Chain A
C-alpha cells in the first residue's frame, strides 16, 4: 500500500506542476503543442511507470522514476556558460553547424547555424512551429508516443528541441551538431527534448546528437526524436550520450522510412546512471536500407538498456544491426533486438548481431533477439555473444613487450573497431576512440 501512495504522489507531482509549467512557457506554447500536451495528460492518468514484470522492461528497474520528483519547471536563468566553456564538450576538428540547448532550453548564444536556407532549415522547435506550421502539422507527433509513461511525460513537458527540415533534392554535407548540455545550475530537473527531423526526397545529410551532462549533477533526460525519410533520402544520425553518472536518460527514437531511403543510426553510449534507448525504424516502402550501429560502455554501477526495433512492412528491403558492449565493474547491459518481417515484406534481408565483452566478474549482460517473421521468402540471421578479453591474444601482444594493461587496451580497441570503423566522420571516429579509453580509465590506443 505504501508503494501505491508513493506512485500516486509522483503522478500528483507531475500533474500539479503542469499549470506552472504552462505559465512559464509564455508565448511559446503553440496550439499544436498544447494539443499534444492535453492528449498526453489524458493518457498520463491511465498509465504507470513500467514495472519489471512488463516484458519490455524485464531487466530494467525504473524505480528511480517513482522515487524522485524531477522538476519540470526550471527557472529561466541566464547561463554563464560561454563558447570557451563548451569548447571541449563539442566534437570538433570538423566543419559543423551547432545548435545548443541548456537544460532543454534553446541557447541561441551557444548556437551557430550558418545553414543554407535554400536547402535546409535548422531551428529550435518552438521557432520552427512559427515559421513552418504546415510541416509541423504534416509530420509532428505522428508516431506512437504513448507506449509508456516516459514517452507520455515527454508529451506533457517537452520544452523544445531541434527541428531540421531538409528540402527535396538537397545535399547538405556539413553535419549539424545538436548539443544538449544537461544538469546546469539546478538539481533534479526533468529535461524533455523533442526533436523533429524531416529529410525530403533525394536529399542527404548527417546529424550528431551530443548529449552531455554536467558531471555529478542529478537529473532526468526524457527525450523523443522523430525522423521522416522521404523517397531516396539518406541520413546518418550519430547519438553520443555522455550524461552524468548520477543522471537518468531515456530516449525514444522513431524513424519512418520511405522507398529507397537509407538510415545509418549510430548509438554510442558512455554516460548515465541508467539509460534506456528505444531505437525504432519502420520500413514503410521498398528497397530501403537501415543500419544500426551501437556501442555501449558501462562501468561502476551503470545500467544501459538498448531496445531496437526494425519493422519490415514492405518487400525488398534490408536491415543490418551491429551492437557491441564493453562492461566493467558492476555495470549491467541489456540488449533486446526486435525484428518484425510482416507478411508482405517478401525478399527481406535482416541481420542482427550483439557482441559483449565483460571486463570484470561482476559485470552482466542480458541479450535477447526477438524475431517475428510472417513472410516466407526472407533471409534473417542473428547472433549474440558474451565473453572476456581473449587470453591467447593478450599473450601474443604481451610477448612483443607490451605490458598487460596496454595489451588489454589493444584488445578493447580491437573489439570496438568494427563499430568505430563505420563512423564516417574521421575526426569524430578518433574522438570516439579516445572517449572509449577515457571512460574506461585505460591507456589509449590510437589507430
Chain B
C-alpha cells in the first residue's frame, strides 16, 4: 500500500528526516515510537502533504501513485488520513457541516452521488455511537471548546466517517483518560480491516495493548534505527531508548 524510500526532509532549512525506508501492506498496523523531536510528526505531516516540510530526497508511493506530487486534499481523497497531534479549532463551522463537506468532496472524487441528509445523519449516528460521542459535540463548531480528550476522540470520529485506506494516528492517546483510551482504541479497531492500514505514533505501550501492532519501529534523529514485532514496544517500555541508540559518532558519519 505504502512504500517510503530513502526519505529526506527539511523544515526551515534544517534536516529532520535523514533517510527513512518503510513498507506498509494492507491489513497491517505499524507503530512508530521514538524520543521527543525525533521526527515522528514530521513524517506523519509529510505523508499528509503539509507544505511546511520540504522533501529533499527519496520517494513515497501510495497505491501505485507518487504521493509527493499530490495536494493534501487529493491525498485525502485517495485515502490518506492524519489524526493530528494537535487538532485545530474552526469556530463558526459545525462538525456536521465540516464532515458533510469532506465526505461529499470525496464522493465526488470517486464518482459517487452526494449523501442525502438522511444517509449522512444515519452515518453520523452509527459512527458517533461507536465512540460514545455526545450529539451535542456533533452540532458544535469543530473542536471549539472541546477538551483535550474530546478533540482526540473527534479525530477518530472523523476517521470513522471518512473511512480512509491509510490512517496515521499521531499521539492520539495523549490527553485521553483510561476509559476514553479504551473507547478510542476500540474505534480504531472497528475501522481496521485487511483492506486498510494503520500507523500509530505513540510514546506508550499502553495504547498498543489495545491497538496491537504487527511491527514496531524506533525513529531516532530522523532515522529508523530499529524495527521489530510488538514485543519491541514492551522492551522499550522497560528499558527506554538508550540501549538501542547508536554511537553518536557513527550516526554523524552517515
Contacts and interface: CB of A to CB of B under 8 A. Distances in A.
Contacts of A447: 92, 94, 97
B239 to A, nearest CB: 35
Give chain A's interface secondary structure class: helix
B199 to A, nearest CB: 15
A416 B98 CA distance: 16
Contacts of A139: none
Contact of A404 (B73, B77, B103, B158): B73
B88 A396 contact: yes
B90 A411 contact: yes
Contacts of A93: none
B73 A398 contact: yes
A397 B103 CA distance: 12
Nearest to B73: A398
Contacts of A62: none
Contacts of B76: 398-402
B49 interface: yes
A396 B105 contact: no
Nearest to B87: A396
Given A395-B51, A400-B76, A401-B76, A406 B101 contact: yes
Contact of A417 (B52, B91, B105): B91
Nearest to B89: A393
Contact of B71 (A404, A411, A417, A446): A404
Contact of A401 (B84, B92, B162): B162
Contact of B98 (A398, A400, A418): A400
A446 B98 CA distance: 10
A58 to B, nearest CB: 33
A78 B88 CA distance: 56
Interface in B37-56: 48-52
B93 interface: yes
Contacts of A446: 97
Interface residues of B, number: 35
Contacts of B91: 414, 417-418
Contacts of A407: 73
A383 interface: no
B222 interface: no
Nearest to B105: A401
B6 to A, nearest CB: 25
Nearest to B45: A395
Contacts of A396: 84, 87-88, 90
Contacts of B101: 402, 406, 410, 445
Contacts of B81: 399-400
B109 interface: yes
Given A396-B87, A398-B73, A402-B73, A414 B109 contact: no
Nearest to B109: A401
Most buried by A among B50, B73, B77: B73
Contacts of A416: 92
Interface in B62-93: 71-73, 75-77, 80-82, 84, 87-93
A432 to B, nearest CB: 12
A419 B210 CA distance: 44
Contact of B90 (A399, A401, A404, A410): A410
Q: Report the interface size class on chain A.
A: 20 to 34
A393 B93 CA distance: 13
B73 A414 contact: no
Contacts of A418: 91-92
A158 B67 CA distance: 65
A395 B162 CA distance: 17
B192 interface: no
B97 A414 contact: no
A393 B102 contact: no
Contacts of A406: 101, 105
B93 A445 contact: yes
A399 to B, nearest CB: 5
B106 interface: yes
A401 B110 CA distance: 12
Nearest to A421: B92
A310 interface: no
Contact of A414 (B80, B92, B162): B92
A413 B73 contact: no
A337 B109 CA distance: 48
A416 B141 CA distance: 13
Contact of A392 (B88, B93, B97, B109): B88
A415 B93 CA distance: 10
B82 to A, nearest CB: 6
Given A396-B88, A399-B82, A401-B77, A410 B162 contact: no
Contacts of B105: 401-403, 406
Interface in A396-447: 396-404, 406-407, 410-411, 413-418, 420-421, 445-447
Contacts of B87: 396
Interface string A385-398: 00000111101111
B84 A420 contact: no
A397 B99 CA distance: 10
Contact of B92 (A393, A402, A420): A420
Contacts of B48: 395, 399
B138 to A, nearest CB: 14
Most buried by B among A403, A413, A445, A447: A403
A399 B94 contact: no
A217 to B, nearest CB: 34
A445 B71 contact: no
B93 A410 contact: yes
Contacts of B89: 393
Given A406-B101, A414-B91, A447-B94, A400 B158 contact: yes
Nearest to A397: B90
Closest 9 CB pairs of A and B: A417-B92, A401-B76, A396-B88, A400-B102, A398-B72, A398-B73, A414-B92, A401-B106, A393-B88
28 contacts: A393-B88, A395-B50, A395-B51, A395-B72, A397-B98, A398-B49, A398-B71, A398-B72, A398-B76, A400-B81, A400-B102, A400-B162, A401-B73, A401-B102, A401-B105, A401-B106, A402-B105, A403-B73, A403-B105, A404-B71, A410-B90, A414-B90, A415-B92, A416-B92, A418-B91, A420-B92, A446-B97, A447-B94
Interface of A: 390-393, 395-404, 406-407, 410-411, 413-418, 420-421, 445-447
